[in-house]
Amino acid sequence: MRRSAVRYGVVVAAAATVLSVGAAAPPLVRTPPAPPPAPAKVPVAVGHGGAVASVDADASAAGIEVLRQGGNAVDAAVAVAAALGVTEPYSAGIGGGGYLVHYDARTRTVHTVDGRETAPASADTGLFLENGAPIPFAEAMTSGRAVGTPGTPATWKTALDAWGSKPLRTLLAPAERLAREGFTVDATYRAQTAANEARFRDFPASAALFLPGGRLPEVGSVVKNPDLARTYALLAERGVDALYRGPLARDIVDTVRTPPVREGAERTVRSGDLTERDLAAYRTVRRAPTKVTYRGLDVYGMAPSSSGGTTVGEALNILETGDLAAASPGRYLHRFIEASRIAFADRGRWVGDPAFESVPVRGLLSQRYADSRACLIRDDAALTSPLAPGDPRSPVPCATGGRAAPTTYEGENTTHLTVADKWGNVVAYTLTIESTGGSGITVPGRGFLLNNELTDFSFAPADPAVHDPNLPGPGKRPRSSISPTIVLDRHDRPVLALGTPGGATIITTVLQTLTGFLDRGLPLVEAIAAPRASQRNQSATDLEPALWNSPLRSELEALGHVFRQNPEIGAATGVQRLPGGRWLAAAETVRRGGGSAMVVRPDR
């Protein structure tokens, strides 16, 4: 495991069991001694004063530091996100975007921020076409063409202006310190670097940062990022507007328009058309959350441009009519898979950026429409994909209309953090640069990778006769599957909040974790750890090894299900409100090397 969380004045308590202990956070030590060995990550923590769950111990520690200093959940979420930009640079950073869902304890209301990247003003439906044909995906993902205007810094500003209590400079301090002093490399970081080695070597700034001395970093070595430390110091001094106007903005634009490829590189690297005007014009969107009622609880999610809230919500409505608690494991998985298949069929046809597309959100989330789709599910036979969509504007029981829309590829290496504070505020925040390593292109001298989010657009319509709501357009946000979710009880108090990375599998992971917790009675950490399946209206359903090697696979194959093995799906985190002002933070036990759950004052 990596990181030195003690440098933040946080001691991680060893876990006797995964259900009872957590991470303590004693007072900040201003002049720390030499860093001790990196602590083990703890996947679950229970206690008072607030909670943080992320994939990384140093990032979670940064959030705990802010909570101990009197910051609220939004303050802590920004600190965690900034630290993840240091320690998880292939998953997130200020060169990307994301979606934030916030529960305000004072008003008992849920709000969201759409910080999705946007296409340049010059973009049109032919963004990824040459001579009338889509360019190869591998060439698109490593290019300036794929870079959208970053939304992460603007998301921080929007959230802090609305609900924060601390200045940005205070919240960036832990991450700036971490970038300057360094963190300890673990096996996951080294493996992700190795997966990107060929790309990074073609960009001198990326090679210098991520391949120090021209070699892969060794597990246990310390990686520093002084360029990013200086960039964070700039944002701390001048605010996030420094990324959207001025020298930093010009550096981003120059990098996109003239990608700095090493001399002699054989890779085809296309330029992009991002401009300083595109950066200056970027705005986040405060959207009303999606909402469905499930088992008497209110489930809030992210509205389009993300498809997460509508697709999770529709699937929950489909599952509402069945008793998943009493179902056998096989029957539960069968119905979960079929609800996912149906919801994805509708997602592909109807969901895009609402600034450009008429998205029938109310219809997709109506119980009447879900019931008209649920009757397609049979207990004795599986549906086949691609399944055609229904029409939420005019529901007809068991009917499908039009032609199926395939699920486009989405990069899986996003990251998610979940935070709660002592006042009861909660944040579920998923942020990303798209593929593992984003575009592979580092802004020279600035210490961060640029996203390749525009590859989430459809490169061309799957069927020219059917409208595709996810084609590129000027200033358009590509459709996402990001699904930060907050569940409230009948008194509008939090029950739990969660989210995950994983591209399009985000939706199925959130759905499976919710039903595992709410229907199957699993403790949150076990619902997160449970082996996963993911059906996205494709010919085969992904199974993690524990399900692939289970008798359940044969049972489901007998119904007509087709499977393929996927070594790992997602990396979820969540928080759960407990009685007496206590919180439980939960993260992965194994995936991505395990996650990091911490609370301010742990139960002993």
Give me the active site residues, please.
414
Angle 168-181/73-87 helices, nearest 10 degrees?
20
Half-sphere exposure of 443 (CA within 13 A, CB side): 26
Closest-CA residue to 308 (of 503, 147, 77): 503
Eight-state DSSP code of residue 184? E
Burial class, 559, CB count within 10 angstroms (exposed 0-12 / middle 13-18 / buried 19+): middle
φ/ψ of residue 276, rounded to 5: -60, -30
Amino acid at 82: A
Instruction: Determine how β-strand 183-184 pairs with β-strand 494-499.
Output: unpaired
- Spatial contact of 438 and 252, defined as CB atoms under 8 Å apart: no
Closest-CA residue to 414 (of 182, 173, 212, 115): 115
- Spatial contact of 33 and 216, defined as CB atoms under 8 Å apart: no
Angle at 91 between CA 89 and CA 96, to 5 degrees: 85
**C-alpha 209: how far from its chain's center?**
24
Could you tell me the two tokens for 253?
């634009």
- Spatial contact of 550 and 557, defined as CB atoms under 8 Å apart: no
SS3 state at 432: strand
Could you tell me the two tokens for 101?
């869902």
Return the C-alpha torsion angle 440, 445, 446, 452, nearest 10. Answer: -20
Eight-state DSSP code of residue 583? E
How many separate helices (H) and strands (E) can be counted in the chain?
19, 22
Cα separation of 503 and 408, whole Å?
Answer: 10
Could you tell me the two tokens for 357?
């597309």
Q: Which residue has the tokens 């593929």?
A: 435
- Spatial contact of 520 and 326, defined as CB atoms under 8 Å apart: no
Could you tell me the two tokens for 267?
């890779």
SS3 state at 99: strand
Closest-CA residue to 307 (of 146, 573, 536): 536
Amino acid at 328: S
Cα distances (Å, whole numbers) of residue 590 to 167, 522, 546, 586: 35, 17, 13, 12
